[in-house]
Amino acid sequence: MNPTDILTTLQAAGRPLSDLVGLPQRGIRRLATARLLVDKATRDQIVLFEPTLAPFLRRIVRGVDIHPWYCEPSRYLVMLPSGWSAGADVRAEQAWEHLAQRCPPLHRHLAPAATRKTRDVAWWELPDCDLTPFAQARIVWPTASVTKRYALTDPGYLVGPGVCHIPASLFLLGVLMSRLGWLAVTAIGRVGQVYRLAPEQIGRIPIPEATENERAAIEALVQRIIDLTREQVALERRFTQRLLRDFGPPGATPGARLESWWELDFAELRQAIAARFGGDIPARFREQWQAQHADAVVRRAALTDTRALAEATLDTRVAMLYGVDLP
């Protein structure tokens, strides 16, 4: 299917997304330093020392956190309000010193960035910005991608630089993640091998009309796909964590091969464990591990196949709304 021809057909059958929900929004502006993003361990250390900071350390969705159908933010944004460190009328240099006294763990974390910043601006405090949209779930996507990556956030998640968002809607998520929805993107925003998914591009995507029953059917399909995806991700993570717990030293990471354990047969799994951690599965546990690995591979394949069938059904239902026959 020619994307340009398809786009013309879709435009005749629907209204631009921007007409329905307004122009998509970009995430929080560029941060003064990446040091304002902290991992969970650092966040927990800061909150343990200064519990009142908990509301100012918010999960934030970055482009790297967004996957098809789900997002998993791994960072928290330090969102100190203006004047938090020492009051509104205190010079930035003095406020920096006050921060060291008030919350040493946070000060230590930010210190490497301080040498690169001017002392007349409290760069670790964010100016007032409207966070109201983030109280509810949002549909999010990266501003550039080589494949479709739309997902729903949890209520309260912030949206960071390099990410766009609109109000949450299972129906809209289904249209955007459908085959025709992505074909519309390929006609609008291709730059080389990458697709621009900026607000101006995504806002032009035509959204088809649908009856209540049609919307409900698509929403149910999308929820089913989301649930299957989460179940698959949880299965993958549990098995990976068990590999780390049983064979890896403290603080070890799995590496690329073990992260894709379902692509390995048992002999390859043993080789990957030995290469990563320097030891084989003990002989007395191999039969048990082989059975558990085989079972996990089968269960993951079943989830993948079920999701693929649901996605194909979604593609067909969305195509019917547009009046397009999929080949």
Q: Express each pLDDT in 61-105 by its tens digit.
A: 999 999 999 999 999 999 888 888 767 677 778 888 888 888 999
The pLDDT-based confidence of 119 (bands split at 50, 70, 90) is: low
For residue 325, give Cα distances in angstroms to 10, 171, 221, 234, 280.
12, 20, 19, 35, 53
Asked if residues 112 and 30 have their Cβ atoms less than 8 Å apart, the reply is no
**The dihedral sign for the CA sequence 213, 214, 217, 223:** negative
Q: Which pLDDT score is estimated for 43?
A: 95
Looking only at the bridges linking them, the beta strands covering 163-167 and 151-152 are unpaired
Q: Classify 266 as helix, strand or coil.
A: helix
- H helix runs in 248-282, sequence order: 255-259, 266-277
pLDDT greater than 70 at residue 118:
no
Give the type of residue at 103.
Answer: C
Residue 117: the pLDDT is: 55
Asked whether the CA dihedral 132, 51, 140, 136 is positive or negative, the reply is negative
The confidence score (pLDDT) of residue 127 equals 72
119, 93 contact by CB (below 8 A): yes
CB neighbourhood size of 26 (10 A):
16
Whole-structure pTM value: 0.90
